[in-house]
Chains A and B, each alone.
Chain A
Amino acid sequence: MSLWVDKYRPHTLDTIDYHFDVSKRLKALVVYGPSGAGKKTRVIAVLHELFGAGVEKMKIDVRTFTTSTNRKLEFNVVSSPYHMEITPSDLGNNDRVVIQDLLKEIAQTEQVDFSGKHRFKVVIINEADSLSRDAQAALRRTMEKYSKNIRLVLISNTTSNIIAPIKSRTLLIRISAPNLQDITKILDKLSEKQEVSLPSSQEERELILNRVAIASKRNLRRALLNFEALVMQNQELKTTTPMITLDWEGVILKLASNISRDRNVARISSSRTVFYELISHCIPPKLILKNLTFDLLKLVNDNIKPSIVELASIFDERLSLGTKSIFHLEGFVAKTMVAIEKGV
């Protein structure tokens, strides 16, 4: 209804514009892939195929749970008559309670559907990779035992955090990010529908759209948001129109270029301030590390690149394992500086 991202979201499988082959194989699943690749959209489209338009009638319920320590938790559930979408990781370590209580509750009630067509309900679990071990363990038995009444779709970015028993019980499907041509095509289609004032020549048109696609790093959601923002900000789009850069990305880029320019302790200490700033703006530390790494790679000599990538992977692991992201972000900067100094 509102944003283009939402307005032009495909509702059925045949309207999804890329990865045609993947759509045909959807069953009962773990769907994984980078963000903005269209995982959720695809799943909803499958549901649409199965249940018809009723899936789109979504509403938000608030459920309350009681943990073993008698704490009350509130939890939002988006549901339609045919499916239910939960994000257990909202509750942090208490996600097990949701998995146990909620899923069992759904699983143990049989769908009353006189047409007899669909005897099961679909539960979509978001951010399955941040489910705690306990929750995943609770999940695996539920999956089999109640498979008559319930179908699970787990959506996650990677499968590495999902425990093996779950992997073996599900079909893993990877949705890769759309490539630049895909995005360009989609944007083109959209701009026709919205009557966006683009240059008439095909070439220039593609050039602009391609730039949007590049700027959004093959993330379709972001590409759409970005494109809409761009259209809103400009009377007409030309090949010279500047792209909209996000503040936080700009900050990281600046940090990267600073690091590549000079390296000393004062720089480390100033980078700490930047990191604090970024973290307090709710930018996930891993994303900071990722962006910083890619920005750095553009700026340094080829011979240093492997070592920077290696460092990034080490510190990415540390970010996952540890809790004090500021230590590790700064550690990455310090080590990178050393690496660059050695390589120069």
Chain B
Amino acid sequence: MSKPVLDFGLGSLDFKNKFLAGGNGNNDGKDEIYKDKSESPNDTQKDTDLSGKESVANDTTRNITPSTQVSLGSSIIEKNTNAKVITLPNGKIVNLKKKPSRQEDPESAIDALKQEKENYGFNINELYGRLEVKRLKEAPSSRNQDSYIPQNNILWAEKWRPKSFFDLLGNEATNRRILKWIKDWSRVVFDQNLKPITTEDSNPQSKFTDPFGRPSKKILLIHGPPGLGKTTVAHVIAKQAGYEIMEVNASDERSGQRVRDKINNSLNSQTFSGKPVCLIADEVDGAAEFGFVKVLLDLINEDSRAVYKYQNSESSKFKEDNGKKKKQPKFLLRPIIAICNDLYAPSLEKLRAQSEIINFKAPTERELRDRLRDICKHEKINITNQQLQEIVLLANYDIRSCLNILQFGGGLNNSNDLRKKDSQVSWFSIVNEIFRRRRDKKKNEQFKELSEIININPSYDKIINGCFQSYHDVTYNDSQMSKPALISDWLFFGDIMGKTTYEGYGDLSYYSSQVALQFYNLFGDLGNRENLKIKSDYEHFESRRSNFNLLRQIHGNLNAQLRTLLKPHYLSTDALPLLDHIITPELKSINNIKENDQLKLRQAANALSGFGLQITDAKDDSYNDIFTTYPQFHTISKFDPLTVKKQNQKRTQLFPLMLKELDVMKAKKRAFSKVDQGEGPSDGVSQTSKDFNALRNQYEQIAEAEAKNKKPKTEVKIWVKYHEGFSNAVRKPVKWNALWG
């Protein structure tokens, strides 16, 4: 039922083409239906004329197609000679010219073609293109001599790409963070007489800071959904900071040695412009990117080795070494920005830990709309707010696809109903349509119509999800929730059908369109007139993923014993919520720790180290200093933000005590190993912590205890059983001396 509709749409278009080209098509039924389905293209075109002042060429040539790039025929250029130049009172020069007559144009174009190719038939697309180009060329030139002509070949997404920092849309804080990061490189990149901070000329802290004042994480990893301008921002900011950009994206060969050479070359050499290079690694989250990511990681590792080596050697010596560079690990002296969509892609696992991560969020609808309106003004498109909003929603805040829709979705700007345009109906307008029972149609008529629309839309999944998200918010008649109960069966059906897409035994997802129709059956109501604001479960999805990732990280840190005991999902259901309590024991008083409490603290510290958790200091939401565990897991174990706060308070009290306890444990362990080696516990103590004396005492005790234990050990005799030959047949006892004497 449905497929024919789609085919038909295309067929009629095809047909039109033939008609135009040869003029010998038979003009029956098809054309009429075409008009019914989508308003005849003629109407659309009149209103969309860019200049509006003159009727140009033939109406039917309005479609903007990629073939606009076809070169101009000579006859068209001649046309321009008819123009007349007039200077207006305000000094503007206006180019007036004759109205071209209606019939002339297509024919002349056809003639031009005929001249070239005899009458071998012509490509209708090319023909269209010529007319189109001509029309576009003429329209602006009537106003201004030097206007848009060359830019018609450019994608708007390219054309309106922001050029400077101030053009950037969206979250300014994020943008600033990127700028700050890249500015931190300036010292090492632009300072000609670069002298690394040496250990002598600054405070002892410098051992821990970067010798070149670079940011602590050497790679900037920007992630976010497609089309928000991640690449653009990286480019713009890098340019703003004075870098030459070297982009490596998925289209380039990125495996192994080749990319390594390429990157090394670009990072260490000069460009023609004399500007330093900033490497932008776009689209690093693909499955095939392990090699590439490894190259990046190698760079960082080499750098950290270099830093380590440098910091542990005299600065003067370092300079000498610099002369004979042979095996010296190299510093990373240029910024690297990596861009990805999916932060949790397996290939990025290691890179994540090494890089400054920036989450890119969509700009608000308002910002986006204002920018689009600006562009529309420049491109001379009349469009209402409502329509812009619809485009923004349709593109799901993806600014690139917004621009694509604006550029290629010709005809959109004068049809109020998206359905009238000869393109796909967006999923959310379908959802709206589903809930909106029409007064002027019979129920089954509307059902039929809906079923046609839904069937040709490929995103069943989105439609069903949209219906599911919004059916609570619509009005409908119901007795005792029977309808939500009924729809759950259909949703199950849809789920099962949708699942087949991924299983590879044949796709049945086509049938899930029925679910959407059931939503219409049950929830379609005359009362639903307003446009719904469809919620998204993306946020939940995302937080689940990040939590899941966290679980895996924690699970990975568990020691072997615990790991066999706890599966990842036990962690979230049993272990972590209870661990919260275990690591914050209730003590009688913080200041005066009794023996019993000491025991508890020790136990808690033990639990922490068993889970591989570390204690770090951090800031909470209101920027108070708190102690917390690394990795933090309250996103998994806690539901109520209040309890998180309480827990943080308690932790902040307790964790310093536990840090001490952990130090003691560490020291003990070290002491034990030293005693085992037969050395006295002498150095190493000084580093540990403040309660030096207490520790010293403990060491001595340990040493004594260990010494006592050792004595009997030395008296133990060693027995060696040695079998000669392969089988017991030739077995004979062997004396110790035979082996060692």
Contact = CB atoms under 8 A, between A and B. Distances in A.
A41 B484 CA distance: 45
A2 interface: yes
A280 B560 CA distance: 27
A244 B578 contact: yes
Interface in B631-656: 635-640, 643
Interface in B603-628: 603-604, 606-607, 609-611
Contact of A226 (B484, B489, B578, B586): B578
Contact of B586 (A41, A233, A327): A233
B729 interface: no
Contacts of A72: 290
B193 interface: no
Contact of A265 (B472, B563, B610): B472
A322 B491 CA distance: 10
A234 B541 CA distance: 38
A98 to B, nearest CB: 15
A185 interface: no
A225 B480 contact: no
Interface of B: 287-288, 290, 346, 349, 468, 472, 478, 480-482, 484-485, 487-489, 491-492, 494-496, 498-499, 537, 540-541, 543-544, 547-548, 551, 556, 559-565, 567, 569-570, 572-575, 577-579, 581-582, 584-586, 588, 600, 603-604, 606-607, 609-611, 635-640, 643, 723
A337 interface: yes
Interface stretch (A104-112, A281-289, A297-305): A281-289
A328 B567 CA distance: 25
Given A232-B581, A331-B488, A338 B637 contact: no
B728 to A, nearest CB: 10
Interface stretch (A142-150, A199-207, A246-254): A246-254
A66 to B, nearest CB: 11
Interface of A: 1-3, 5-6, 9, 35-36, 40-41, 44, 58-60, 69-74, 76, 78, 85, 87, 114, 126-127, 219, 221-222, 225-226, 228-230, 232-235, 244, 246-248, 250-251, 263-266, 268-269, 272, 276-277, 279-284, 287, 318, 321-324, 326-328, 330-332, 334-335, 337-338, 341-342
A246 B495 contact: no
Looking at A70, A87, A229, which has the most chain B CB atoms within 10 Å of its CB?
A229
Given A78-B560, A268-B472, A338-B480, A248 B639 contact: yes
B60 to A, nearest CB: 46
Contacts, number: 200
B565 A1 contact: no
B607 A3 contact: yes
Contacts of B604: 232
B492 A328 contact: yes
Contacts of B287: 69, 71
Nearest to B503: A93
A287 B573 CA distance: 9
B555 to A, nearest CB: 9
Contacts of A228: 578, 582, 603
Contact of A335 (B485, B547, B574, B603): B485
9 contacts: A9-B565, A71-B346, A222-B574, A225-B579, A229-B582, A233-B581, A281-B572, A321-B499, A326-B537
Contacts of A272: 472
B585 A232 contact: yes
Given A5-B565, A6-B610, A222-B574, 12 more contacts: A44-B564, A76-B563, A244-B578, A266-B472, A280-B547, A282-B636, A283-B573, A321-B492, A321-B499, A324-B495, A335-B485, A342-B480
Nearest to A41: B565
B562 A3 contact: yes
B534 to A, nearest CB: 14
Contact of A58 (B487, B561, B606, B637): B561
Contact of A334 (B488, B548, B636): B488
A77 B572 CA distance: 21
A327 B491 contact: yes
B577 A324 contact: no
B595 to A, nearest CB: 11
A2 B610 contact: yes
B491 to A, nearest CB: 4
B572 A283 contact: yes
Nearest to A57: B560
B489 A40 contact: no
A248 B537 contact: no
A265 B564 contact: no
A269 B472 contact: yes
Given A248-B577, A322-B492, A331-B491, A40 B565 contact: yes
B488 A335 contact: yes
B499 A322 contact: yes
